[in-house]
Structure 1
Amino acid sequence: MPISMVLSDYVAEFLAGKGIDHVFGYQGGAVTKIIDSMVNGGRIRFVQNYHEQASALAADGSARISGKVGVAVATSGPGATNLVTGIANAQLDSIPVLFITGQDYAHNISKTLGRLNGFQDLDIVSVVKSITKYAVTVTDPSRIRYELEKAFYLAANGRPGATLIDLPIDIQFKTIVPEELEGYVPSQEPSLPVHTKDLETVLTALRGARRPLVLAGGGVRLAKAEQALRHLIDATGLPVVTTLNGLDVIEGGLGFAGLYGNTEANLAVYNADLLLVLGARLGQRQVGKVVEKYTHAHVIHVDIDPEELRRVITDSTVIHADIRTFIEALTEAVGTGLSQDWPTWWEMLRGWQREFGKNVHVSVTELDPVRFLTTLVEGADDDAIFAADVGQNQMWLAQAFKVRGQQRLLNSSGLGAMGYSLPAAIGARIASDSAQVIAVTGDGGLQMNLQELNLIGHKALNIKCIVMNNNTLGMMREVQKRYYGERYYGADEESFSCPDLERLAYAFGLDYIKVTSEDSAPDVLAALRKTGPCLIDVRVDFDSLLLNRYDELHVFEANTIHDPNPAS
């Protein structure tokens, strides 16, 4: 005889069966039942955040570290809308996250364009349709298996991203018979074989290149191709730079390229005659406003998403392929190596590293943010997880970060959501019991999700929160200085301030360290190794600086390689 069960219990069993052992969320009337099913089943841990946006971003951080689909839960109405920033973040950075929202009783859901009938009643599916791979309200209990399987599959497969299942309160209580439910069968996706002609095109270009370069993006990790890329680099001797999202995919690179990238990495891209782009979207923060000034190279762009190909560099050679499959096939095709190892090119690259590695250090008399963070990155554990926020602090950390071992760097790259680092670090901490977890934020980003310090303190989570504190919105202040006649609306002492972080730390039950000098770096490293939460208040100059590529136009003019016969 078929066994029946309550629909909310089925959802919990489904998630547990997929290896989901924790979800993030905020309790509310429309999700009490489903959360009860998750926790009461004994297989899923519910992490109560203090804002639904933090739940969404924590699920994002957890997914990046665990390699599984992250899950966040929120109640109807404002609970669901508070998820929106995190939903967009997961979608734009291609992070697999399933969002589950509660909904008002099914009969209250309005079918008209007028106001809805119930309390906290909102059509969240219409709200998030443009920022998800799939979103649906389940009003027929018999569809729950199909919709769950579809949402979970789409979140994790192809180009990963955000999906959402909206569940009315009464539907959660319905009785279903799992054996009678229809499942989801993915449509047969077209295979993406790596064609011999594509490999020949790349090999011919590499053999003819004098200054080849690999640009590795976040798609390398999404495709689980880190080891494959390492093997390719070892087999070919190709130099590699990364995007912001690719900074932690390979050890030994030249740094990250882009608007705020390392000078030596940007010079390498600019002067390359062949640029092999692997899993990078080539957005404006990467290539700049004038694409022609980004590189002189023949660009070969490989990506699983055909929409990204020729979107920016229209005359590039494009290869639509899974990144790992492509890299493995190229490595095999290379065999024992190429006919040259480009010694002259490597000599130039190493010269730029020696000459310009110090350029990111912009302060002589005050604490230099990049130099200080470089010391911390170098002294952190080989498996340390850094979660960056958005603003000057993010770019300082990116300029300082040279990955070692299994270190990770989590960024909100596509959306650029201030307030990302603290909840992302929480997600990383829950997903990894042993790794050192370090949130790096600014005093602005910290205050976007300040309430999550309560979760860290209450649960004594072993997270170190480093606040690069200049008591202003530093990046906005720079923009206003450059382009708005030093009119600092919203970024001056009258309109913006940072609270007393020492009192704040003690209020939330965190240890506190104040840093005013780079001489304190050893004390900070010692604190990173201690168990327990700590708020580290790093005082940087009010008018702190952040170099970008436009500040170094003279460097590019002086180091341009004029090649009459570029590779093609």
Structure 2
Amino acid sequence: MKGAKILIESLVKEGVEVIFGYPGGRVLDIYDALYQEKRIRHILVRHEQGAGHAADGYARSTGKVGVCLTTSGPGATNLVTAIATAYMDSVPLVAITGQVSVGQIGKDAFQEADMTGITIPITKHNYLVKDVKNIAATIKEAFWLARSGRPGPVLVDIPSDICTQDTEFKYPDKIDLPNYKPTLKGNPRQIKQAAELLINAKRPLILSGAGIINAGASKELTELVQITKIPITTTLLGLGSIPPADGCFLGMPGMHGTAAANYSICEADVIFAIGMRFDDRITGNPKYFANQAKIIHADIDPAEINKCIPADVPIIGDAREILKELLVLLKKDKFPVHLEWAKQIKQWQKEFPMTYEKNNKIIKPQQVMETLNELTKGNAFYITDVGTHQMFAAQYLQIKSPRHFLSSGGLGTMGFGMPAAMGTAAAHPKDNVICLVGDGGMQMNLQELGTIATNKLPVKTLIINNRWLGMVRQWQQLFYREHYSHTDLEDAQPDFLKLAEAYGIKGVQISDPKNLAKQLKEILEHKGPVLANILVARDENVYPMVPSGGVLGKMLFPAQFANRGAK
């Protein structure tokens, strides 16, 4: 069997149902094999970066490994941002790239780029396949590495002549990687220490992240909260891991977290952090983070322990396995009731609610999120781009299920939203897939409207249009003396409705608050894709806000709270 055919057969063995890609000279043999393969759907994107983000969205929304395919040189390098995005957010991805023939490598051949060298810092592992006999084993390893332990992207670079060579096809039955053995079971002694700390705590707090969703541990996390009544706050990428209606849920912490979440971190005496990495957007200045608390840190990646915040009780292992063991211990005795702690948190929630001033003449972005809550009842996939709309979505949307809120967290990639929504819609064609994007990010990958239209992907793209690079504008207002340097997009926008028409997509303009609910309802009920341009208040900032490198307890509030808080 030829190498190209072996590659496709290997992907079938791994259960691949869809590939997002863009053809080119060095992958023509692979595409010829795809042409004859009916078991895999190929979705032609309009830019290779879109292929990477679409595979990312597919992976985040399903838990399966996403797959993208591009040619060598510029086709491959256009994947770099998408691969880095997946790497920062621990997304299982296999990126397959074409390469010049083996004999041309290192000779600056046409469309040659050293992809293994380029992607070393942003992949879990990468391969350059120089022998056709290694294709099957390499694909087996790549998928295993991408999905096991802490998930992440793996790149497989395949020279063009390897695709044309023949060998016997035999797909491996098992993996033998002696130097890669992820720890799944947590240390029993350390789990017991964690249980004792939580039982004896006066002001306990759970801080969970995307690791809960990756491990499929939402059920165990919810059970832990239900039996202990410990208040819980989840990171941006952990949203949906616990029902928001749970009385213990405090919302998101950090730079744009809720006051209750941030004050709770400051005042807690024990914090159980699981499946999260203490990134700077959560901690602010690490010197002042949770100074009163003993830290229990559970993560499957040993490199995260003590990297940013010292752990009093470190636990290495899979989040689901750790929670199972912890629940056994905590169920043995009746968990103490922390009435004073609960009372204090309720006071913070009452004094500093998530609120905004409504205006009957202009739509507020928060109002869009609240209206979506009412219309979808949480039964939708929400995919955001990056900017103020992303933070408003995280603050106001009610995400009831894991894998239903997708966002670029670690890398903060503008242009992520719409292609990631494509991947989500490809995986869930019968569900509401809502893409929330700013007018800036929309223009970074707007060519993917062509992919959406051609493949009839029912993505509802809502442009939260404030005619600014909104998050940058907010920083310029607050910290750069209102020097709005190159962030005003008022006169730098296309006619989004004509753009939708050009691609054969239904276009809608929304500007009147009184018609917002009606128009959004019509959009959600439309069977095909929609592009909606929602004109919102230009100067709406995201609050609360902890300035970069600041202290969680010293938040900036909107005007109505200006004289409160700031401990």
Which TM-score applies when normalising by structure 2? 0.92
Q: Tell me the CA shift for residue 41 of structure 1.
A: 1.9
User: Does the C-alpha gap of structure 1 residues 243 and 449 become closer, same or farther in structure 2, counting only changes over 3 Å?
Assistant: same
RMSD (CA atoms): 2.3
Are the aligned partners of 1:381 and 1:436 in contact in 2 as well (CA < 8 Å)? no
Superposed counterparts of 1:11-26, under 5 Å:
11-26=7-22
* Residue in structure 2 matching 1:502, options 497, 516, 526: 497
* Residue in structure 1 matching 2:276, options 274, 280, 292: 280
Match of 2:546 in 1: 549
Superposed counterparts of 1:5-404, under 5 Å:
5-110=1-106, 116-179=107-170, 184-187=175-178, 189=181, 191-251=183-243, 252=246, 253-294=249-290, 296-314=292-310, 316-335=312-331, 338-359=334-355, 361=356, 364=359, 366-404=362-400
1:466 aligns with 2:462: yes
Are the aligned partners of 2:194 and 2:313 in contact in 1 as well (CA < 8 Å)? no
| Distance in 2 of aligned mates of 1:493 and 1:427 | 28
Q: Which amino acid aligns with 1:468?
A: I
Are the aligned partners of 1:254 and 1:264 in contact in 2 as well (CA < 8 Å)? yes
Q: How many residues align?
A: 550
Are the aligned partners of 1:35 and 1:46 in contact in 2 as well (CA < 8 Å)? no
Q: Tell me the CA shift for residue 358 of structure 1.
A: 3.4
Are the aligned partners of 2:227 and 2:335 in contact in 1 as well (CA < 8 Å)? no
Unaligned runs of 5+ in 1: 111-115, 562-568
Q: Tell me the CA shift for residue 306 of structure 1.
A: 1.1
User: Does the C-alpha gap of structure 1 residues 363 and 195 become closer, same or farther in structure 2, counting only changes over 3 Å?
Assistant: same
Are the aligned partners of 1:145 and 1:182 in contact in 2 as well (CA < 8 Å)? no
Q: Which amino acid aligns with 1:214?
A: I
1:422 aligns with 2:412: no
1:20-75 deviation line (CA, Å, top 9, x unaligned): 11000111111122123234121101000000000000000001112111100000
1:279-334 deviation line (CA, Å, top 9, x unaligned): 11110011113441455322211111111111111254321121111001111111
Q: Which amino acid aligns with 1:67?
A: G
Q: Tell me the CA shift for residue 222 of structure 1.
A: 0.8
| Distance in 2 of aligned mates of 1:36 and 1:384 | 37
Are the aligned partners of 1:443 and 1:469 in contact in 2 as well (CA < 8 Å)? yes
Are the aligned partners of 2:464 and 2:536 in contact in 1 as well (CA < 8 Å)? yes
Are the aligned partners of 2:477 and 2:483 in contact in 1 as well (CA < 8 Å)? yes
Which TM-score applies when normalising by structure 1? 0.92
Are the aligned partners of 1:235 and 1:336 in contact in 2 as well (CA < 8 Å)? no
Match of 2:550 in 1: none
User: Does the C-alpha gap of structure 1 residues 181 and 315 become closer, same or farther in structure 2, counting only changes over 3 Å?
Assistant: closer
1:451-494 deviation line (CA, Å, top 9, x unaligned): 00111122222110010101120111112222222222221358
Match of 1:565 in 2: none
Greater Cα offset, 264-273 or 40-49:
264-273
Tell me the secondary structure at the aligned position of residue 85 of structure 2: helix
Are the aligned partners of 1:215 and 1:278 in contact in 2 as well (CA < 8 Å)? yes
| Distance in 1 of aligned mates of 2:133 and 2:300 | 34
Q: Which amino acid aligns with 1:136?
A: Y
User: Does the C-alpha gap of structure 1 residues 501 and 410 become closer, same or farther in structure 2, counting only changes over 3 Å?
Assistant: same
Unaligned runs of 5+ in 2: 548-553
Greater Cα offset, 501-510 or 263-272:
263-272
Q: Tell me the CA shift for residue 404 of structure 1.
A: 2.2
Tell me the secondary structure at the aligned position of residue 276 of structure 1: strand
Tell me the secondary structure at the aligned position of residue 321 of structure 2: helix
Q: Tell me the CA shift for residue 184 of structure 1.
A: 4.5
| Distance in 2 of aligned mates of 1:472 and 1:33 | 45
| Distance in 2 of aligned mates of 1:329 and 1:29 | 53
Are the aligned partners of 2:385 and 2:437 in contact in 1 as well (CA < 8 Å)? yes
Are the aligned partners of 2:193 and 2:313 in contact in 1 as well (CA < 8 Å)? no
Are the aligned partners of 1:142 and 1:181 in contact in 2 as well (CA < 8 Å)? no
| Distance in 2 of aligned mates of 1:304 and 1:173 | 40
